[in-house]
Amino acid sequence: MDSKGALLTAAQFNWNVRVYYEDTDTAGVVYYANYLRFFERARTEWLRHLGLNQEKLAAEEGLRFVVRRATLDFVAAARLDDLLQISVRILKLAKASLELEQEASNQGRRICAATVQVAFLRNADFRPVPIPVSIRAKMQP
The residues annotated with a catalytic role in the active site are 25
Amino acid letter, 98: L
User: What are the angstrom distances between the C-alpha of 25 and each of 35, 54, 82, 84?
Assistant: 13, 31, 14, 17
Q: Are 48 and 88 in contact (CB under 8 A)?
A: no
d(CA 16, CA 8): 12
Q: How crowded is residue 90: how many other Cβ atoms within 10 Å of its Cβ?
A: 17
Q: What angle do CA 49, 55, 56 make, to 5 degrees?
A: 85
